[in-house]
Amino acid sequence: MGDSLLIKNAAQLITMKGHSDKPAVRSAMSDLDVIENGAVYIEEGKIFEAGPSEEICAKYEADKQIDASGKVVTPGLIDPHTHLVHAGTRENEYAMRLKGKTYMEIMEAGGGIHATTRATQEASHEELYEQSKKRLNKFLLHGVTTVEAKSGYGLTLEHEMKQLEVAKKLNEDHPVDIISTFMGAHAIPMAEKENPEPFIDRVINEMIPKAAEQKLAVFNDVFCERGVFTPDQSKRILEAGKEHGLIPKIHADEIEPYAGAELAASVGAISADHLLKASEQGIKDMAEAGVIGVLLPGTAFFLMAEFAHARKMIDAGVAVALSTDANPGSSPTISLPFIMNLGCLKMGMTPEEVITATTINAAHAIGQAKEAGSLEAGKKADLTIFDVPNYLTLSYQYGMNHVDTVIKGGKPLVVGGQLQ
Protein backbone atom coordinates (compact mmCIF):
# COMPACT_ATOMS: atom_id res chain seq x y z
CA MET A 1 0.00 0.00 0.00
CA GLY A 2 2.98 2.35 0.46
CA ASP A 3 2.84 5.63 2.23
CA SER A 4 -0.78 6.42 2.99
CA LEU A 5 -2.65 8.78 5.28
CA LEU A 6 -6.32 9.22 6.04
CA ILE A 7 -7.71 12.44 7.45
CA LYS A 8 -11.21 11.83 8.70
CA ASN A 9 -14.20 13.32 10.52
CA ALA A 10 -13.45 16.93 9.54
CA ALA A 11 -16.29 19.17 10.67
CA GLN A 12 -15.87 20.84 7.28
CA LEU A 13 -13.63 19.71 4.46
CA ILE A 14 -13.16 22.44 1.88
CA THR A 15 -12.01 20.91 -1.40
CA MET A 16 -12.13 23.94 -3.78
CA LYS A 17 -12.67 21.47 -6.60
CA GLY A 18 -13.56 22.43 -10.13
CA HIS A 19 -11.37 25.50 -10.66
CA SER A 20 -8.05 24.03 -11.70
CA ASP A 21 -8.37 25.02 -15.36
CA LYS A 22 -9.39 28.63 -14.83
CA PRO A 23 -9.34 30.93 -11.80
CA ALA A 24 -12.66 31.39 -10.02
CA VAL A 25 -14.44 34.66 -10.83
CA ARG A 26 -17.62 36.39 -9.59
CA SER A 27 -20.01 33.93 -7.86
CA ALA A 28 -17.62 31.02 -8.49
CA MET A 29 -15.36 32.65 -5.89
CA SER A 30 -17.92 31.53 -3.29
CA ASP A 31 -17.94 27.98 -4.54
CA LEU A 32 -15.83 26.19 -1.91
CA ASP A 33 -17.29 22.68 -2.16
CA VAL A 34 -17.72 22.12 1.59
CA ILE A 35 -18.14 18.51 2.75
CA GLU A 36 -19.55 18.24 6.26
CA ASN A 37 -17.89 15.36 8.13
CA GLY A 38 -15.36 14.99 5.36
CA ALA A 39 -12.32 12.82 4.79
CA VAL A 40 -9.31 12.73 2.48
CA TYR A 41 -7.29 9.69 1.52
CA ILE A 42 -3.66 10.39 0.59
CA GLU A 43 -1.20 8.04 -1.09
CA GLU A 44 2.45 8.62 -2.01
CA GLY A 45 2.21 12.30 -1.16
CA LYS A 46 -0.76 12.92 -3.46
CA ILE A 47 -4.49 13.37 -2.91
CA PHE A 48 -6.23 10.14 -3.86
CA GLU A 49 -9.82 10.91 -2.99
CA ALA A 50 -11.83 13.37 -0.90
CA GLY A 51 -15.43 12.84 0.17
CA PRO A 52 -17.78 12.09 3.08
CA SER A 53 -16.00 10.32 5.96
CA GLU A 54 -18.32 7.34 5.90
CA GLU A 55 -17.59 6.65 2.27
CA ILE A 56 -13.83 7.27 2.32
CA CYS A 57 -13.23 5.34 5.57
CA ALA A 58 -15.15 2.32 4.23
CA LYS A 59 -13.10 2.36 1.05
CA TYR A 60 -9.53 2.81 2.27
CA GLU A 61 -7.26 1.53 4.97
CA ALA A 62 -4.32 3.83 5.62
CA ASP A 63 -0.97 3.42 7.38
CA LYS A 64 -1.72 6.51 9.42
CA GLN A 65 -4.87 8.38 10.39
CA ILE A 66 -5.59 11.87 11.63
CA ASP A 67 -8.88 12.60 13.35
CA ALA A 68 -9.99 16.10 12.38
CA SER A 69 -13.18 16.10 14.51
CA GLY A 70 -14.35 19.60 15.27
CA LYS A 71 -11.85 21.11 12.83
CA VAL A 72 -11.79 22.61 9.34
CA VAL A 73 -9.57 21.17 6.61
CA THR A 74 -8.56 23.32 3.63
CA PRO A 75 -6.03 23.01 0.83
CA GLY A 76 -2.63 24.22 2.09
CA LEU A 77 -2.68 28.02 1.84
CA ILE A 78 -0.72 29.63 -0.99
CA ASP A 79 0.97 33.02 -0.72
CA PRO A 80 1.44 34.34 -4.27
CA HIS A 81 3.50 37.49 -3.52
CA THR A 82 6.35 37.67 -1.02
CA HIS A 83 9.75 39.28 -0.71
CA LEU A 84 10.87 36.26 1.33
CA VAL A 85 14.62 36.47 0.73
CA HIS A 86 16.06 39.64 2.26
CA ALA A 87 18.29 40.73 5.11
CA GLY A 88 17.33 42.79 8.13
CA THR A 89 14.34 44.77 9.32
CA ARG A 90 13.22 48.43 9.16
CA GLU A 91 11.46 49.18 12.42
CA ASN A 92 13.23 52.57 12.47
CA GLU A 93 11.27 53.58 9.35
CA TYR A 94 8.06 52.39 10.95
CA ALA A 95 8.73 54.79 13.83
CA MET A 96 9.41 57.60 11.31
CA ARG A 97 6.16 56.91 9.49
CA LEU A 98 4.24 56.99 12.76
CA LYS A 99 5.58 60.54 13.15
CA GLY A 100 4.30 61.54 9.71
CA LYS A 101 6.99 60.70 7.14
CA THR A 102 5.65 58.86 4.10
CA TYR A 103 6.87 55.59 2.61
CA MET A 104 8.01 57.30 -0.61
CA GLU A 105 9.76 60.15 1.25
CA ILE A 106 11.78 57.61 3.19
CA MET A 107 12.66 55.73 0.00
CA GLU A 108 13.64 58.91 -1.86
CA ALA A 109 15.99 59.81 1.00
CA GLY A 110 17.84 56.52 0.55
CA GLY A 111 15.89 54.41 3.03
CA GLY A 112 13.08 52.01 2.17
CA ILE A 113 13.96 49.46 -0.51
CA HIS A 114 17.48 51.00 -0.66
CA ALA A 115 18.09 50.24 3.03
CA THR A 116 17.12 46.60 2.58
CA THR A 117 19.20 46.48 -0.61
CA ARG A 118 22.30 47.57 1.31
CA ALA A 119 21.66 44.94 4.00
CA THR A 120 20.98 42.24 1.41
CA GLN A 121 24.05 43.09 -0.65
CA GLU A 122 26.20 42.83 2.47
CA ALA A 123 24.70 39.51 3.57
CA SER A 124 26.33 36.22 2.59
CA HIS A 125 24.38 33.38 0.99
CA GLU A 126 24.36 31.65 4.37
CA GLU A 127 23.04 34.64 6.28
CA LEU A 128 20.27 35.19 3.74
CA TYR A 129 19.46 31.50 3.79
CA GLU A 130 19.16 31.36 7.57
CA GLN A 131 17.02 34.49 7.87
CA SER A 132 14.71 33.37 5.06
CA LYS A 133 14.42 29.83 6.41
CA LYS A 134 13.13 31.23 9.70
CA ARG A 135 10.45 33.13 7.80
CA LEU A 136 9.51 30.02 5.83
CA ASN A 137 9.02 28.08 9.05
CA LYS A 138 6.69 30.81 10.28
CA PHE A 139 4.73 30.65 7.03
CA LEU A 140 4.33 26.92 7.54
CA LEU A 141 3.15 27.43 11.12
CA HIS A 142 0.47 29.76 9.70
CA GLY A 143 -0.80 27.13 7.29
CA VAL A 144 1.09 28.14 4.12
CA THR A 145 2.54 25.34 1.98
CA THR A 146 3.60 27.26 -1.17
CA VAL A 147 5.01 30.77 -1.53
CA GLU A 148 6.14 32.93 -4.39
CA ALA A 149 9.43 34.74 -3.64
CA LYS A 150 10.89 37.77 -5.41
CA SER A 151 14.39 39.07 -5.82
CA GLY A 152 14.75 42.86 -5.96
CA TYR A 153 16.98 43.73 -3.02
CA GLY A 154 20.17 42.99 -4.93
CA LEU A 155 19.91 45.45 -7.83
CA THR A 156 23.20 44.18 -9.32
CA LEU A 157 23.69 41.05 -11.37
CA GLU A 158 25.66 39.38 -8.58
CA HIS A 159 23.27 40.18 -5.76
CA GLU A 160 20.04 39.60 -7.67
CA MET A 161 21.32 36.13 -8.61
CA LYS A 162 22.38 35.59 -4.98
CA GLN A 163 18.81 36.17 -3.81
CA LEU A 164 17.42 33.83 -6.46
CA GLU A 165 20.02 31.16 -5.68
CA VAL A 166 19.10 31.30 -2.00
CA ALA A 167 15.43 30.86 -2.93
CA LYS A 168 16.37 27.89 -5.11
CA LYS A 169 18.39 26.25 -2.35
CA LEU A 170 15.59 26.80 0.17
CA ASN A 171 13.13 25.29 -2.27
CA GLU A 172 15.33 22.20 -2.45
CA ASP A 173 15.94 21.94 1.30
CA HIS A 174 12.71 23.16 2.87
CA PRO A 175 9.33 21.44 2.50
CA VAL A 176 7.47 24.66 1.61
CA ASP A 177 7.48 25.07 -2.18
CA ILE A 178 8.97 28.29 -3.50
CA ILE A 179 8.16 29.73 -6.93
CA SER A 180 10.68 32.41 -7.86
CA THR A 181 10.22 35.78 -9.50
CA PHE A 182 13.01 37.97 -10.81
CA MET A 183 12.41 41.57 -9.72
CA GLY A 184 15.59 43.44 -10.57
CA ALA A 185 13.33 46.37 -11.45
CA HIS A 186 12.31 46.91 -7.83
CA ALA A 187 14.11 50.26 -7.44
CA ILE A 188 16.59 52.40 -9.33
CA PRO A 189 19.91 52.35 -7.44
CA MET A 190 20.39 55.64 -5.53
CA ALA A 191 23.54 56.58 -7.47
CA GLU A 192 21.71 56.27 -10.81
CA LYS A 193 18.46 58.02 -9.99
CA GLU A 194 19.13 60.94 -12.32
CA ASN A 195 19.97 58.68 -15.23
CA PRO A 196 18.25 55.29 -14.89
CA GLU A 197 18.80 54.11 -18.48
CA PRO A 198 22.08 52.26 -17.88
CA PHE A 199 20.46 50.39 -14.97
CA ILE A 200 17.40 49.46 -17.07
CA ASP A 201 19.85 48.32 -19.73
CA ARG A 202 21.56 46.01 -17.25
CA VAL A 203 18.22 44.62 -16.09
CA ILE A 204 17.22 43.90 -19.70
CA ASN A 205 20.53 42.75 -21.14
CA GLU A 206 22.31 41.12 -18.21
CA MET A 207 20.03 40.20 -15.34
CA ILE A 208 16.93 38.93 -17.18
CA PRO A 209 18.94 36.72 -19.58
CA LYS A 210 20.96 35.26 -16.69
CA ALA A 211 17.96 34.58 -14.43
CA ALA A 212 16.17 32.89 -17.35
CA GLU A 213 19.16 30.95 -18.62
CA GLN A 214 19.95 29.57 -15.16
CA LYS A 215 16.26 28.79 -14.61
CA LEU A 216 16.28 30.84 -11.44
CA ALA A 217 12.89 32.46 -12.05
CA VAL A 218 9.53 31.81 -13.65
CA PHE A 219 8.18 35.37 -13.47
CA ASN A 220 9.48 38.88 -14.07
CA ASP A 221 8.07 41.66 -11.89
CA VAL A 222 8.51 45.44 -11.92
CA PHE A 223 7.61 48.23 -9.46
CA CYS A 224 5.63 50.49 -11.80
CA GLU A 225 5.18 53.63 -9.69
CA ARG A 226 5.80 57.36 -9.99
CA GLY A 227 9.40 57.97 -8.93
CA VAL A 228 10.36 54.34 -9.59
CA PHE A 229 9.70 52.81 -13.06
CA THR A 230 7.38 54.58 -15.51
CA PRO A 231 4.78 52.57 -17.43
CA ASP A 232 6.99 52.84 -20.55
CA GLN A 233 10.09 51.58 -18.76
CA SER A 234 8.04 48.85 -17.07
CA LYS A 235 6.67 47.74 -20.41
CA ARG A 236 10.15 47.45 -21.92
CA ILE A 237 11.37 45.42 -18.96
CA LEU A 238 8.36 43.10 -19.03
CA GLU A 239 8.56 42.61 -22.81
CA ALA A 240 12.26 41.79 -22.47
CA GLY A 241 11.41 39.16 -19.85
CA LYS A 242 8.84 37.63 -22.18
CA GLU A 243 11.51 37.17 -24.85
CA HIS A 244 13.38 35.02 -22.36
CA GLY A 245 10.31 33.07 -21.29
CA LEU A 246 9.68 34.99 -18.05
CA ILE A 247 5.99 35.65 -17.43
CA PRO A 248 5.11 39.26 -16.49
CA LYS A 249 3.82 40.38 -13.10
CA ILE A 250 3.49 44.00 -11.97
CA HIS A 251 3.47 45.96 -8.72
CA ALA A 252 0.70 48.19 -10.05
CA ASP A 253 -1.05 51.34 -8.82
CA GLU A 254 0.15 50.87 -5.24
CA ILE A 255 0.77 54.44 -4.11
CA GLU A 256 -0.69 56.52 -6.96
CA PRO A 257 -2.89 55.79 -9.97
CA TYR A 258 -0.34 55.12 -12.71
CA ALA A 259 -2.13 52.97 -15.32
CA GLY A 260 -0.42 49.85 -13.97
CA ALA A 261 -3.56 47.71 -14.23
CA GLU A 262 -3.98 48.78 -17.87
CA LEU A 263 -0.36 47.90 -18.55
CA ALA A 264 -0.79 44.47 -16.93
CA ALA A 265 -3.65 43.74 -19.34
CA SER A 266 -1.78 45.01 -22.40
CA VAL A 267 1.41 42.99 -21.77
CA GLY A 268 -0.55 39.86 -20.83
CA ALA A 269 0.65 39.71 -17.22
CA ILE A 270 -0.45 36.69 -15.20
CA SER A 271 -1.22 39.05 -12.32
CA ALA A 272 -1.24 42.70 -11.31
CA ASP A 273 -0.52 43.13 -7.63
CA HIS A 274 -1.48 45.84 -5.06
CA LEU A 275 -4.00 47.87 -7.16
CA LEU A 276 -4.95 50.19 -4.29
CA LYS A 277 -5.34 53.01 -6.81
CA ALA A 278 -6.32 51.02 -9.90
CA SER A 279 -8.63 52.92 -12.27
CA GLU A 280 -12.07 51.76 -13.41
CA GLN A 281 -10.65 51.26 -16.89
CA GLY A 282 -7.74 49.26 -15.51
CA ILE A 283 -10.09 46.97 -13.60
CA LYS A 284 -12.18 46.47 -16.74
CA ASP A 285 -9.09 45.72 -18.82
CA MET A 286 -7.87 43.18 -16.28
CA ALA A 287 -11.21 41.36 -16.24
CA GLU A 288 -11.24 41.20 -20.04
CA ALA A 289 -7.63 40.04 -20.34
CA GLY A 290 -7.93 37.53 -17.49
CA VAL A 291 -5.24 39.18 -15.36
CA ILE A 292 -5.48 38.01 -11.75
CA GLY A 293 -5.66 40.79 -9.15
CA VAL A 294 -3.34 39.88 -6.27
CA LEU A 295 -4.45 42.10 -3.41
CA LEU A 296 -2.22 42.81 -0.42
CA PRO A 297 -4.32 44.41 2.30
CA GLY A 298 -1.50 44.02 4.83
CA THR A 299 0.32 46.76 2.91
CA ALA A 300 -2.61 49.18 3.03
CA PHE A 301 -3.02 48.37 6.72
CA PHE A 302 0.64 48.92 7.53
CA LEU A 303 1.09 52.02 5.33
CA MET A 304 -2.18 53.40 6.72
CA ALA A 305 -3.45 53.80 3.16
CA GLU A 306 -6.78 53.28 1.44
CA PHE A 307 -7.53 49.62 0.76
CA ALA A 308 -7.88 48.15 -2.74
CA HIS A 309 -11.45 47.90 -3.99
CA ALA A 310 -11.75 44.13 -3.94
CA ARG A 311 -15.53 44.16 -4.05
CA LYS A 312 -15.56 46.29 -7.17
CA MET A 313 -12.95 44.07 -8.81
CA ILE A 314 -14.76 40.82 -8.05
CA ASP A 315 -18.05 42.27 -9.24
CA ALA A 316 -16.33 43.39 -12.45
CA GLY A 317 -15.16 39.83 -13.09
CA VAL A 318 -11.52 40.06 -11.96
CA ALA A 319 -10.20 36.85 -10.38
CA VAL A 320 -8.87 37.99 -7.01
CA ALA A 321 -6.11 36.36 -4.97
CA LEU A 322 -4.75 37.52 -1.60
CA SER A 323 -1.21 37.68 -0.32
CA THR A 324 0.89 38.99 2.55
CA ASP A 325 3.46 40.93 0.42
CA ALA A 326 5.78 39.80 3.25
CA ASN A 327 8.62 42.34 3.27
CA PRO A 328 10.44 44.48 5.84
CA GLY A 329 9.11 47.86 4.67
CA SER A 330 5.48 47.87 3.66
CA SER A 331 4.12 44.64 5.14
CA PRO A 332 6.24 42.92 7.79
CA THR A 333 4.03 39.90 8.35
CA ILE A 334 3.87 36.29 7.24
CA SER A 335 0.31 35.76 8.49
CA LEU A 336 -1.86 34.94 5.50
CA PRO A 337 -4.80 34.18 7.85
CA PHE A 338 -4.63 37.79 9.12
CA ILE A 339 -4.69 38.94 5.49
CA MET A 340 -7.90 36.91 5.10
CA ASN A 341 -9.38 38.81 8.07
CA LEU A 342 -8.42 42.10 6.41
CA GLY A 343 -9.92 40.95 3.11
CA CYS A 344 -13.28 40.64 4.83
CA LEU A 345 -13.11 43.57 7.21
CA LYS A 346 -11.42 46.14 4.98
CA MET A 347 -12.06 45.14 1.38
CA GLY A 348 -15.65 43.92 1.38
CA MET A 349 -14.83 40.30 0.58
CA THR A 350 -16.87 37.42 1.97
CA PRO A 351 -15.48 34.58 4.13
CA GLU A 352 -15.89 32.27 1.12
CA GLU A 353 -14.08 34.61 -1.26
CA VAL A 354 -11.03 35.00 0.99
CA ILE A 355 -10.61 31.22 1.10
CA THR A 356 -10.75 30.99 -2.69
CA ALA A 357 -8.30 33.91 -2.87
CA THR A 358 -5.69 32.12 -0.72
CA THR A 359 -6.05 28.67 -2.28
CA ILE A 360 -7.01 28.01 -5.89
CA ASN A 361 -6.86 31.61 -7.17
CA ALA A 362 -3.51 32.10 -5.43
CA ALA A 363 -2.31 28.92 -7.15
CA HIS A 364 -3.39 30.32 -10.52
CA ALA A 365 -1.56 33.58 -9.82
CA ILE A 366 1.74 31.66 -9.71
CA GLY A 367 1.00 29.01 -12.31
CA GLN A 368 0.53 26.22 -9.77
CA ALA A 369 -3.15 25.37 -10.17
CA LYS A 370 -2.50 21.99 -11.79
CA GLU A 371 -0.47 20.87 -8.76
CA ALA A 372 -1.91 22.71 -5.77
CA GLY A 373 -4.73 24.89 -4.46
CA SER A 374 -7.46 22.28 -4.19
CA LEU A 375 -8.03 18.80 -2.76
CA GLU A 376 -8.51 16.86 -5.96
CA ALA A 377 -7.15 13.50 -7.06
CA GLY A 378 -3.57 13.69 -8.30
CA LYS A 379 -2.69 17.01 -6.68
CA LYS A 380 -0.02 17.40 -4.02
CA ALA A 381 -1.30 16.37 -0.61
CA ASP A 382 -0.89 19.84 0.89
CA LEU A 383 -3.53 20.52 3.56
CA THR A 384 -4.07 22.78 6.51
CA ILE A 385 -6.21 21.79 9.49
CA PHE A 386 -7.57 24.71 11.50
CA ASP A 387 -8.81 24.32 15.04
CA VAL A 388 -12.11 26.09 14.33
CA PRO A 389 -15.56 24.49 14.11
CA ASN A 390 -16.45 26.12 10.78
CA TYR A 391 -14.72 28.23 8.15
CA LEU A 392 -16.66 31.36 9.11
CA THR A 393 -14.71 31.41 12.37
CA LEU A 394 -11.47 31.77 10.40
CA SER A 395 -12.32 35.27 9.27
CA TYR A 396 -14.20 36.09 12.49
CA GLN A 397 -11.65 35.41 15.24
CA TYR A 398 -8.70 37.50 14.11
CA GLY A 399 -5.12 38.08 15.16
CA MET A 400 -4.51 34.56 16.44
CA ASN A 401 -3.16 31.47 14.82
CA HIS A 402 -5.81 28.78 14.41
CA VAL A 403 -3.52 26.34 12.60
CA ASP A 404 -3.43 22.94 14.25
CA THR A 405 -1.86 20.69 11.61
CA VAL A 406 -0.10 21.25 8.29
CA ILE A 407 0.42 18.39 5.88
CA LYS A 408 2.88 18.91 3.04
CA GLY A 409 3.25 16.25 0.36
CA GLY A 410 1.39 13.84 2.63
CA LYS A 411 3.64 14.48 5.63
CA PRO A 412 2.44 16.14 8.85
CA LEU A 413 4.97 18.94 9.40
CA VAL A 414 3.03 20.95 11.95
CA VAL A 415 1.09 19.06 14.61
CA GLY A 416 -0.79 20.65 17.51
CA GLY A 417 0.46 24.02 16.28
CA GLN A 418 4.12 22.95 16.62
CA LEU A 419 6.75 22.36 13.97
CA GLN A 420 7.75 18.70 13.97
Q: Please give the residue ranges that form the binding site for ligand NIG (CB under 6 A).
A: 83, 112-113, 116, 223, 251, 254, 299, 325, 327-330
Contact between 221 and Fe ion by CB under 5 A: the answer reads no
Measured on CA atoms in the order 156, 159, 162, 166, is the torsion positive or negative?
Answer: negative
**Which C-beta is closer to ligand NIG: that of 233 or that of 299?**
299
Per-residue interface string for the shown chain with Fe ion, residues 294-333, x marking contact by CB under 5 A = -------------------------------x--------
**Nearest to 261, CA basis, from 297, 291, 304, 239:** 291
- Residue 298: name its binding partner from Fe ion, ligand NIG, none (Cβ under 5 to 8 Å by kind): none
Number of neighbouring beta carbons within 10 Å of residue 120: 28
Is 298 or 351 the residue whose CB approaches ligand NIG more closely?
A: 298
| Largest CA-CA distance found in the chain, in angstroms, rounded | 70
Neighbours of 124 (CB within 10 A): 11
Judged by CB, which is closer to Fe ion: 113, or 141? 113
Nearest residue (CB) to Fe ion, 129 versus 223: 223
Give the up-direction half-sphere exposure of residue 389: CA atoms within 13 A in the CB hemisphere.
Answer: 0
Alpha-carbon torsion, ordered 188, 185, 282, 278, to 10 deg: -60
Shortest separation between residue 346's beta carbon and ligand NIG, angstroms: 17
- The amino acid sitting at 197 is E
- Asked if 79 interacts with Fe ion (CB under 5 A), we say no
Question: 116 is in the binding site of which of ligand NIG, Fe ion, none (Cβ under 5 to 8 A by kind)?
Answer: ligand NIG
Torsion of CA 327, 79, 203, 289, to 10 degrees: -130
At its nearest, how many Å lie between Fe ion and the CB of residue 58? 47
- Closest residue (Cβ) to ligand NIG? 329
> What's the closest the beta carbon of residue 220 comes to ligand NIG, in angstroms?
15
Q: Compute the half-sphere exposure of residue 387: CA atoms within 13 Å on the CB side of its CA.
A: 12
User: From ligand NIG, Fe ion, none, which one binds at residue 112 (CB under 5 to 8 Å depending on kind)?
Assistant: ligand NIG
Interface residues with Fe ion (CB under 5 A) are 325
